Amino acid sequence: MADAPWLTIVGLGEDGPGGLCVASRAALDAAEIVMGPPRHLSLLPDVGARRIDWPVPFADGVETLLTCRGTPTVALASGDPFWFGAGTTLAARLERSEWRAFPGRSTFSLAAARMGWALETTACFGLHAAPLKRLRPALAPGRRLIVLLRGGDSVHALAEYLSAEGFGASTLSVLQALGGPREAVTEARADALTGDFAHPVCVAIALAGDGAVLPLASGRPDDWFDNDGQITKRPVRAMTLSALAPRPFETLWDIGGGSGSIAIEWLLGDPTLRATCVERDPDRAARIAENAARLGQDRLRVVTGSAPEALDGLDPPNAVFVGGGLSQALLDRLAALPAGTRIVANAVTLESEALLAAAQARLGGDLVRLDLSQAAPIGPKRGWKAAYPIVQWSVTL
C-alpha cells in the first residue's frame, strides 16, 4: 500500500462493506480519511479513519477532498463511480497518478437484473442534477429506460412528466435501496402512481402510450420547434445537417439561430456534440433556449448578439452554419478560422446569393440551389406552390 495513490475511489452498494472487493477493503483499512455522503458513511463499521461528510452541493465536497491531498483517503461513491457517478468529476480534477478506483455493482446492473432486461438495449439516464426533459428524445412506445433520480419526490415528478407527454400508460417499477436490506419494489402506471418513496431510488420504465415520438432522422417536423416564422424548414434542414456532417465530439456555431432547429438537431445526433447558437433578437434567443430544453438539449449555449462581434470568446468550432445575418464581414471572419473547419451558409435574397457566389469563387466548395415546391389547391384542383429558392454554399477550409 506504500506505493498506492493518495486517493482511492470506492463504489459502495446498499449492502455496505459486504459487497466490497478485497482491494476496496484493504484501501479502507489503510485510509486515514474516509469521505462520503452520510448515508454511505453510516453503512461502514468503524475503520479507524477520520470521517468527513460530503456536503451539498457536490462541488463543495470536491474542494474539501482536495485539501486531503497527500493523506491516504477513500472517497465513497454509489455503485460504479464512472457511470453517472462521482468518479468522472474527481478524475478530471486530479493527475492520473493520484487516484485509483474500485467500482461496485452499478444501480443500472442491479435494476436490469431485477427486471430481466437486456442492459445493452435499455437506455440509462442519470438525472440526479439534470432535468427530466433529458428523457424526451427517448420517449417511444416499447422502449425501456432506467432512470436514476435525486430523491423520492422526483418519482412523482417523473410520473407527471411522462403523463403530460402522452406516456401515462407506461409501467413504472420504482426500485428503492437496491441490493440492500431495505430494498423495495413498487410497480404502477405513470398516471396512477401513489405512495411515498425514499432515496436512494431509481425507476425502470416500460414506455407505453400515444405521445408524440421524436423521429431519429435529421429533418424533424417543423412543429417540434416553436418559432415566429424564422426557421430552416424541414427539407432544407435535412440537407443542411447532411452538409454540416456532424462527427463525435465536435462543436457547431449556429449563426442567426431563428428557432434553433439546426443547432438542436445537431445536438440530437450524439451526446458528445456541442453547439452555440448566436441570435441577435432577444425574444428569439429565449425561444431557442426553450426549444432546446423541451427536447432535452439543455446543453445548447445561446448567445444574444450579432455576428461577427458576438463570436469573440467562443470555443473554436469544427463546423459553422449561417442561417441569418450574412455579411461580408462575417464571411471574412469565418474564412480566418482554422483549416479543416466546415462552413455551410444558406441564402434567400439576391444580395446574399451574390455574397455566397463570391465566397465560393474565392474559397472553393460547393454551391447548390434548392428549389422546393409543395402541392396546394388551385381552385377545385391542385398545383405546385414554389417556395423561395435556397442557395447553399458548403466548404471545408
Does 22 share its domain with 117? no
Identify the domain boundary among 206, 230, 252: 206
Whether residue 217 lies inside any domain: the answer is no
Domain that holds residue 116: 108-206
User: pLDDT of 91-147, one tens digit each?
Assistant: 999 999 999 999 999 999 999 999 999 999 999 999 988 999 999 999 999 999 999
Does 75 share its domain with 96? yes
How many other CB atoms sit within 10 Å of the CB of residue 62?
Answer: 18
Confidence at residue 205, expressed as pLDDT on a 0 to 100 scale: 98
Domain count of the chain?
3
Does 333 share its domain with 226? yes
Look at residue 316 and tell me whether its pLDDT is greater than 90: yes
Mean pLDDT confidence for 311-328: 96
- Provide CB contacts within 8 A for 354, sequence distance 6+: none
Whether residue 100 lies inside any domain: the answer is yes
Confidence at residue 20, expressed as pLDDT on a 0 to 100 scale: 86
Mean pLDDT confidence for 140-164: 96
Identify the domain boundary among 105, 134, 159: 105
| Least confident residue range of 15-19, 41-45, 190-194 | 15-19
User: pLDDT of 244-265, one tens digit each?
Assistant: 999 999 999 999 999 999 999 9
Task: pLDDT band for 58, please (50, 70, 90 cuts).
Answer: confident
Does 244 share its domain with 339? yes
- In 181-327, alpha helices (H): 234-244, 261-268, 282-294
Confidence at residue 85, expressed as pLDDT on a 0 to 100 scale: 87
Task: pLDDT band for 59, please (50, 70, 90 cuts).
Answer: confident
Does 114 share its domain with 101? no
Does 237 share its domain with 367? yes
How many other CB atoms sit within 10 Å of the CB of residue 265?
Answer: 26
Task: pLDDT band for 372, please (50, 70, 90 cuts).
Answer: very high
Confidence at residue 199, expressed as pLDDT on a 0 to 100 scale: 87
Confidence at residue 18, expressed as pLDDT on a 0 to 100 scale: 78
Q: What rounded mean pLDDT belongs to the chain? A: 94
Confidence at residue 128, expressed as pLDDT on a 0 to 100 scale: 87
- In the chain, alpha helices (H): 22-30, 38-43, 58-66, 86-93, 107-115, 153-164, 234-244, 261-268, 282-294, 328-335, 350-363
Whether residue 213 lies inside any domain: the answer is no
Does 160 share its domain with 245? no
Confidence at residue 45, expressed as pLDDT on a 0 to 100 scale: 84
Confidence at residue 1, expressed as pLDDT on a 0 to 100 scale: 44
The grid cell for 179 is 441490493
> Which pTM does this prediction carry?
0.92
